[in-house]
A = this chain, B = another copy of it.
Amino acid sequence: MSLLLGHIVDALGGSLEGGATRDVVISRIAPLEVAGPGDLSFLSNPRYQQQLAASRAACVIVAPAMRDAALARGACIVADNPYVYFARATQLWRQRNAPAQQAGVHASAVVDPMALVHPTATIGPLCVVERGAQVGAGTILKSRVTVGEGCTIGARCIVHAGVVIGADGFGFAPEQGQWVKIEQLGAVRIGDDVEIGANTCIDRGALQDTVIEDGVKLDNLIQIGHNVHIGKHSAMAGCVGVAGSATIGAHCTVGGGAIVLGHLELADNVHISAATVVTRSLTRPGQYTGMFPIDDNARWEKNAATLKQLHSLRERIKALEQALKAA
């Protein structure tokens, strides 16, 4: 479970400096403050420069601007984007040290004969792939994933355990106090290079398809409602809920626990803070937030109680202003 520094630089580029020799054995990738003499580390944020100086790592990946500081400590790899370099190093690590899940359909999976699974795709243990579903080249369904009837997943996707793709969207017409089911006749279409976290759900569309474009990354326990459209390379953290027919642009990010209401449109490059409720369309890029600030419970209680009178407080301020003007 180790690699030579030389092999790393051969595979990923960057310049080896500060007395680092190609034949140093790296046994682990580790954060600066934890790394020991056999470890490769990285400095992605100049804020942590002090940790760099103190680190016992065998070698540290740094940006050109940090080159001098790194050399003062010892061995380093200088790379344009140390964080991306680190990411690729983890990939190298996995490739060399961990055997990949074998391509093919696990014996315990239930794959409909009318499903289309690419020969290089991996259908893990206890997955269900229904009739007419398609799974693209190199895509991996880890374990206990359901891909519903007629849903398609592109190439090189990773779908973690417990994911449900293509359950019915939540559609009912009210009639005399009861609910009449609207059958969900659409499907789910997922592009290439999408990653979907554990136990996340993506519902099928009512009449048209729910669409997840290329490169989208979804964390765990996310709910994507029917007819939602998520643009390329957008990313969402855990526990997010996106209600039906919302359209989210490309390169958006949504923080953990945020909720996007139905039928809204979010432009490209919109960023939603954690736990924020999006109640209107957002047509301009930017960061948006709405969350009650945390406080000691006692102070929160006072402020929350006053909040219920906020509108009347505004009226009292108005009255004061008028009274003062009149005085």
Contact = CB atoms under 8 A, between A and B. Distances in A.
8 contacts: A110-B126, A162-B162, A181-B195, A273-B297, A280-B294, A286-B297, A288-B297, A292-B307
A246 B219 CA distance: 16
Contacts of A277: 257, 274-275, 291-292, 294
B294 A288 contact: yes
Contacts of A128: 124-126, 143-144, 161
Interface centre among A93, A199, A243, A296 (most CB of B within 10 A): A199
A11 interface: no
A237 B170 contact: yes
Given A125-B110, A201-B220, A306-B314, A83 B173 contact: yes
A41 to B, nearest CB: 9
A208 B31 CA distance: 9
A172 B243 contact: no
Interface string A281-315: 00000111111111111011111111111110110
Interface string A22-37: 0000001111001000
Nearest to A315: B306
Interface in A207-222: 207-208, 215, 217, 219-221
A316 B219 CA distance: 44
Given A84-B175, A259-B239, A307-B303, A90 B185 contact: yes
Contacts of A309: 303, 314
Contacts of A158: 168, 181
A54 interface: no
A295 B299 contact: no
Pairs A-B, 4 closest by C-beta atoms: A290-B294, A90-B183, A167-B198, A287-B297
Copies of this protein in the assembly total 3
B183 A91 contact: yes
A182 B88 CA distance: 7
Contacts of A219: 170, 223
A60 to B, nearest CB: 14
Interface stretch (A2-10, A13-21, A65-73, A317-325): A317-325
Contact of A91 (B143, B181, B207): B181
A233 B172 CA distance: 11
Contacts of A184: 90
Contacts of A50: none
A239 B217 contact: no
Given A162-B201, A257-B259, 13 more contacts: A30-B208, A83-B173, A90-B184, A98-B149, A106-B110, A164-B198, A197-B203, A199-B221, A239-B241, A293-B307, A299-B311, A316-B317, A320-B321
